Amino acid sequence: MPDPLELLTTRRSFKAAELAGPGPSATEIDMLPTVASRVPDHGKLAPWRFIVFEGEARRSAGEAIAAAFRAKYPDAKPEHVEAERGRLMRAPLVIAVVSRAGPHMKIPEWEQVLSAGAAAMSLVIAAHALGYGANWITEWYAYDRGVLDALGLAAHERIAGFIHIGRPPGPPEDRPRPPLDEIAVRFAV
Ligand SMILES: Cc1cc2nc3c(=O)[nH]c(=O)nc-3n(C[C@H](O)[C@H](O)[C@H](O)COP(=O)(O)O)c2cc1C
């Protein structure tokens, strides 16, 4: 298990297509949403859920993505439709984080959405802790009603992210991060 601070300060995303198999084992796949479900959750509403795409299920979901793409672009070239069909095949494992946020008497919807974001981040960190690389992406199909229907999302549910998980090609190159003095201030008395 890597040092948590080391992991957090060195974590980088990998491109989905860079994430190779073999993917996480069945035990590790169970562990990922288990870890993600421990996020802060005001009101204990569990305003998120997870959909695991593995093996051929990734292609079945890809059929729905390709169908939605064809509906939007009826003249699309077959190779473009095929690329859409393969969207969820790039990494061996994809876990969708679904936000179930909605109106509540006490808990603002915003806080429920934030909890889903935290769950997605926990998935990313847990994947890294297990030695995998991850990429949190949404892409166009996260916002397409036809795709959401095919994936079983209710009308009020939204995709917080499709977390792609697999074996990274090697150590990542870092990218510049925002200077600390631009993003953090000490509140002056
Ligand atoms: C909600 C959310 C959705 C994202 N969707 C995409 C996406 O569709 N495509 C993309 O290239 N990056 C997306 N990103 C950004 C990547 O996850 C990643 O942060 C970015 O590539 C920078 O890499 P880093 O995590 O190593 O800093 C998204 C991030 C968030 C938080």
For 122-173, the pLDDT digits (tens) are 999 999 999 999 999 999 999 999 999 999 999 999 999 999 999 999 988 9
The minimum-distance atom of ligand 1 relative to the CA of 139 is 8
Helix/strand/coil for 38: coil
Check residue 163 and give its pLDDT.
98
Rounded CA-CA distance 96/53 in Å is 8
CA of 139 to the centre of ligand 1 (A): 9
Q: What is the predicted pLDDT for the residue at 69?
A: 98
> Which protein residue's CA is at the shortest distance from atom 17 of ligand 1?
136
Whether the link from the prior residue into 178 is cis, omega within 30° of 0, is no
In b/e form, how buried is each residue of 122-148, taking b as 16+ CB within 10 angstroms?
A: bbbbbbbbbebbbbbbeeebbebeebb
Dump pLDDT digits (tens) for 88-119: 999 999 999 999 999 999 999 999 999 999 99
First and final CA of the chain: distance in angstroms? 41
Pocket, ligand 1, Cβ cutoff 6 A:
12-13, 135-139, 161, 175
For 22, phi then psi, to 5°, come to -70, 145
Position in ligand 1 atom list of the atom nearest CA 121: 31
H/E element, 51: strand 48-54
Amino acid, single-letter form, for residue 86: G
Q: Which residues of 21-37 are buried (b: 16+ CB within 10 A; e: fewer)?
A: eebbeeebbebbbebbe
Q: What is the pTM of this model?
A: 0.97
Cα–Cα distance, 72 to 76 (Å, whole number): 9
CA-CA distance, 182 to 71, in Å (whole number)?
Answer: 44
Report, as an integer, the average pLDDT of 14-18.
97
Residue partners of 20: CB distance under 8 A and separation at least 6:
92, 166, 167, 169
- pLDDT over 90 for what percent of the chain? 97
Ligand 1 atom at shortest distance from the alpha carbon of 142:
8
Apex CA 118: angle with CA 106 and CA 90, to 5°? 135
